């Protein structure tokens, strides 16, 4: 039995589609390879967005190198590790909600905050709004 992928328009064997009990035929509309490609693109977009957030630099010192910048949760209302979002399927709005509780700090300042040597800087609310608008202009279908 074969089925047509709604994305690549190829006719493929039914085994090339993920099962989905909510669909009339019991299988997803797009094939596994298109689904993987879609996930890869999403992860890449999120990684680019997080790098734009990291470009804001450390809120405690003048560090600007994005490889040194961590996302630090201010307070204790942490639902998930923001640094792992590219590996998990988390809705963009949930990512934004979690980022609104965070700030950018370099690795050194991050450790000093957790040790109690530095006080926590403010969250990213104001800076984040502009980046989210920019992201949604580039990817308008983002929820």
Does this model's pTM top 0.85? My answer is no
User: pLDDT tens digits for 75-134?
Assistant: 767 777 776 666 667 777 888 888 888 889 999 999 999 999 998 888 776 778 788 888
List pLDDT tens digits, range 23-72.
999 999 999 999 999 888 888 888 888 899 999 999 999 899 999 999 88
**Sequential DSSP letters for 40-51:** HHHHHHHHHHHH
Token pair listed for 83: 């640094």
């Amino acid at each position: 039995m074969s089925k047509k992928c709604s994305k690549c328009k190829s006719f493929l064997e039914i085994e090339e589609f993920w099962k989905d009990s909510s669909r009339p035929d019991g299988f997803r509309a797009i094939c596994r390879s298109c689904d993987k490609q879609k996930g890869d693109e999403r992860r890449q977009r999120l990684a680019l967005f997080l790098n734009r957030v990291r470009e804001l630099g450390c809120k405690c010192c003048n560090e600007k190198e994005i490889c040194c910048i961590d996302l630090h949760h201010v307070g204790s209302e942490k639902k998930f590790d923001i640094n792992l979002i590219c590996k998990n399927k988390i809705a963009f709005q949930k990512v934004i909600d979690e980022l609104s509780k965070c700030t950018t700090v370099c690795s050194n300042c991050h450790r000093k905050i957790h040790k109690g040597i530095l006080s926590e800087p403010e969250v990213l609310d104001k800076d984040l709004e502009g980046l989210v608008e920019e992201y949604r202009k580039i990817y308008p279908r983002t929820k």
